[in-house]
Amino acid sequence: MVFKFRPLRTGIRADALFTRPILEWERVSSRFFAMVYDALAGKTNPSVGEFSVDVGTVLGEARAQYRLFGGAASISIQADRLTFDFPNLVPADYTIVYDVIAAIHDAFPKWFPELQYERVETQSLEHLDLVENGALERFLHRYEIATSDTTFPSPVVMQPGLKFTVVAQDQSWQCALFAERSLLSATALFVVLNMSFRGLSNSPSYSDKMTRITAVTNSVLRLIGLEHVDAAST
Do 200 and 118 touch, CB atoms closer than 8 A? yes
Catalogue the long-range contacts made by 139-147 (C-beta closer than 8 Å, 24 or more residues apart). Answer: 139/3, 139/189, 139/225, 139/226, 140/180, 140/181, 140/189
Q: What angle do CA 217, 213, 15 make, to 5 degrees?
A: 115
Arithmetic mean of pLDDT over the chain: 93
What pairing do the DSSP bridges indicate for beta strands 188-198 and 226-228?
Answer: unpaired
46 vs 192: CA distance, rounded Å: 31
47 vs 68: CA distance, rounded Å: 9
* Residue 19 per-residue DSSP state: S
Give the three-state DSSP class for 91. Answer: helix
Q: How confident is the model at residue 234 (pLDDT cuts 50, 70, 90)?
A: very low
46 vs 35: CA distance, rounded Å: 11
Half-sphere exposure of 93 (CA within 13 A, CB side): 15
Stretch 30-42: mean pLDDT: 97
Q: What angle do CA 156, 159, 164 make, to 5 degrees?
A: 140
Stretch 60-73: mean pLDDT: 93
Q: What angle do CA 179, 184, 186 make, to 5 degrees?
A: 80
For residue 85, the tally of other CB atoms under 10 A from its CB is 18
Do 224 and 179 touch, CB atoms closer than 8 A? yes
Q: How confident is the model at residue 44 (pLDDT cuts 50, 70, 90)?
A: very high
What pairing do the DSSP bridges indicate for beta strands 117-130 and 63-67?
Answer: unpaired
Q: How confident is the model at residue 180 (pLDDT cuts 50, 70, 90)?
A: very high
pTM of the model: 0.92
Task: Give the rounded percent of residues in the chain with a pLDDT score beyond 90.
Answer: 82
